[in-house]
Amino acid sequence: MNDPDKLVIFDTTLRDGEQSPGISLDAAEKLEIAEQLARLGVDYIEAGFPVASQGDFEAVRAIARTVQGPAIAGLSRTQVSDVDRCWDALRDAERARIHVFISTSPQHMEHMLKMDRGQVLAATRSGVARAAEHTTDVEFSPQDATRTPLDFMLEVLQAAVDNGATTLNIPDTVGYGIPWDFGALIQYIRREVKGDYVTSVHCHNDLGLATANSLAGVQAGARQIEVCVNGLGERAGNAALEEVVMAVKIRADQFPGLSTGVRTEELARTSRLVSRLTGYPIQYNKAVVGRNAFQHESGIHQHGVLADRSTYEIIDANSVGQVGSQIVLGKHSGRHAFSDTLAKMNIHISGDMLNAAFNRFKELADRKVELTDADLEAIVAEEMGERLEDTYSLESLEVSGGTVGVPRATVVVLRAGEKMEATGEGDGMIDAACKAIKAATGVDGTLTGFNVSAVTGGVDALGDVIVQLEAGGIRVSGRGVSTDVVEASARAYLSAVNKVLRIQSRAEVRQDEVGP
């Protein structure tokens, strides 16, 4: 942490990223992402907000007990009981950090906290001091820092350091910062706040400047940067991990001697995994990990790249894991080849999970001649999502449509071995299939989002469908994969229904997760 040439990557995908509307990750899904983040080589994983719910507490505890390599962090308000609860979730980690925060802007203090400056200062002192009793690794964040009067922010930050904070994180919580102004703020804080601490930045993207502001902070001396995979996060999201890491690597002339411990060849795989488990698609032209990031349509560009890649590409696609499939699996492939291929892709599953994924692979291989690495990732991700205490599974689907007559669908779903059949009619076959599932399961929900994309190219590509469903005040996402987009849609809808039922069964009431 005190190495001036090391840029600490603090990943908050599982905390700030999960606060994106419609994302609700189970403990097993959080653990899967955390294990991939460890393979990626991030320094810190902010695993969640333990006081928010029992589910969040259990997920943080599972990650703390299981994931090796990165330090595990948990978010906490300044209340002593919150800090203790956070530590209870983290105490079994190889290395643990408590991240304490409180709002400091006039808007937040007046309308949210109902506290004055003196009360905020007192809460800062007591919360940070309590965290320091548990661990020597304590981070403090003054929420909405960029709209906080500078004199008060300096007073709060100094109080945090005096009471044991070892990292001071400056959050641009509402994306208000402008790069040169934000960089100057970081320089001023480092000069005025006395003590031994690391300066960190946490930037939101409301004006599309999260990455730019983060890099300005680093140039000004910050040595920790808080990021989310794919730029997930509240509202417009956070600084994207893949963007800041590659900016520092590619523009080493602007960050002399500075390096991260990130294994960049794992970036694309991490991006795809997070996309599938959260239900948030990756925009085609997303920097570094988007589908179009290394594609060229213009004839002039194509000519240049064919002559020499460097003419139009500043990043080697292989260096970020954007490579074509190096293996081909089809319907004649056996279980051993399937398992071995997954192992080479660093996907390790066994037992019933492996059997289920293999069966889905064989089913899809009958419809598609070749299945690529991306196809296999989609199959495994779908199966892992479906195996999380599912109430219903899809037994069969039959649809009819066309220009004559009303589209109809008949589904058979299984619940504890019992078959339940229902029929639905709709505006199209997908609508009919969703209504049939609604009738069969009894879960009355409203689709608030629907996205279908091809996993790979070609007319036989797998369709990857992501839906967002709202039912009983609960918003969840679901996904399904198939060569038939209607079947993929039905699977995605049923996946979302199962998530709703899991959350209802836990009877969780999550507290507001307002963080830096």
Under a CB-based contact definition with an 8 Å cutoff, are residues 266 and 40 in contact?
yes
Place of tokens 């076959």: 429
Average pLDDT over residues 162-178: 98
With 0-12 CB in 10 A as exposed, 13-18 as middle and 19+ as buried, what is 305? middle
Q: Enter the tokens of residue 428.
A: 């199209």
| The pLDDT of residue 325 | 36
Under a CB-based contact definition with an 8 Å cutoff, are residues 397 and 433 in contact?
yes
Taking phi first (over 0 means left), then psi (-120 to 50 degrees means alpha), and beta for anything else, what does residue 257 get? left
Number of Cβ within 10 Å of residue 299's Cβ equals 8
Average pLDDT over residues 436-455: 89
pTM listed for this prediction: 0.78
**Which carries the bigger pLDDT value, residue 380 or residue 509?**
380
As a whole number of angstroms, the distance between CA 216 and CA 178 comes to: 9
Q: Enter the tokens of residue 471.
A: 């039912």
- Reported as a pLDDT band with limits 50, 70 and 90, residue 326 is very low
| The pLDDT of residue 505 | 76
Rounded to 5°, the CA angle 27-30-36 comes to 140
Residue 506 pLDDT greater than 70, yes or no = no
CA of 95: how far to CAs of 49, 62, 72, 225, 255, in Å? 17, 14, 6, 19, 28
The class that CATH gives domain 393-506 is alpha beta
Average pLDDT over residues 137-149: 97
As a whole number of angstroms, the distance between CA 200 and CA 221 comes to: 9
Taking phi first (over 0 means left), then psi (-120 to 50 degrees means alpha), and beta for anything else, what does residue 410 get? beta
Share of the chain above pLDDT 70, in %: 89
**Using CA of residue 457, residue 463, residue 464, residue 470, what is the dihedral sign?**
positive
| The pLDDT of residue 302 | 62
- Reported as a pLDDT band with limits 50, 70 and 90, residue 405 is confident
- For residue 460, report the phi and psi dihedrals to the nearest 5 degrees: -100, 20
- The helix (H) or strand (E) run that includes residue 362 is helix 351-365
Each residue's pLDDT tens digit, 98-120: 999 999 999 999 999 999 999 99
Residue 332 pLDDT greater than 90, yes or no = no
| The pLDDT of residue 119 | 97
Span of 284-293, 371-380, 486-495 with lowest mean pLDDT? 371-380
Cβ contacts of 457 within 8 Å, gap of 6 or more = none
Span of 1-15, 53-67, 204-218 with lowest mean pLDDT? 1-15
Each residue's pLDDT tens digit, 183-196: 999 999 999 999 99
Rounded to 5°, the CA angle 225-3-128 comes to 60
| The pLDDT of residue 21 | 87
Under a CB-based contact definition with an 8 Å cutoff, are residues 119 and 104 in contact?
no
Cβ contacts of 109 within 8 Å, gap of 6 or more = 103, 115, 116, 117, 120
Average pLDDT over residues 232-244: 97
Under a CB-based contact definition with an 8 Å cutoff, are residues 213 and 179 in contact?
yes
Span of 95-109, 162-176, 218-232, 376-390 with lowest mean pLDDT? 376-390
| The pLDDT of residue 2 | 66
Residue 36 pLDDT greater than 70, yes or no = yes
| Sequence letter at residue 18 | E
The class that CATH gives domain 8-278 is alpha beta
Listing from the earlier edge strand, what are the strands of the sheet with 418-425? 393-400, 408-415, 418-425
Residue 153 pLDDT greater than 90, yes or no = yes
Listing DSSP states for 49-65 in one string gives: -GGG-HHHHHHHHHHHH
CA of 231: how far to CAs of 28, 166, 198, 313, 420, in Å? 22, 26, 23, 22, 41
| The pLDDT of residue 327 | 44
Listing DSSP states for 204-250 in one string gives: B-TTS-HHHHHHHHHHTT--EEEEBGGG-SSTT-B-BHHHHHHHHHH
| The pLDDT of residue 371 | 67
Each residue's pLDDT tens digit, 334-366: 777 778 778 877 777 878 888 888 887 887 777
Each residue's pLDDT tens digit, 303-320: 676 677 788 888 888 899
Residue 86 pLDDT greater than 60, yes or no = yes
Residue 382 pLDDT greater than 70, yes or no = no
| The pLDDT of residue 172 | 98
Each residue's pLDDT tens digit, 259-285: 999 999 999 999 999 998 998 999 988
With 0-12 CB in 10 A as exposed, 13-18 as middle and 19+ as buried, what is 446? exposed
Go through 485-495 and write b for each residue having 16 or more CB atoms within 10 A of its CB, e for each that does not: bbbbbbbbbbb
| The pLDDT of residue 299 | 64
Q: Where are the alpha helices (DSSP H) in 135-178?
A: 150-162
Rounded to 5°, the CA angle 452-494-425 comes to 80
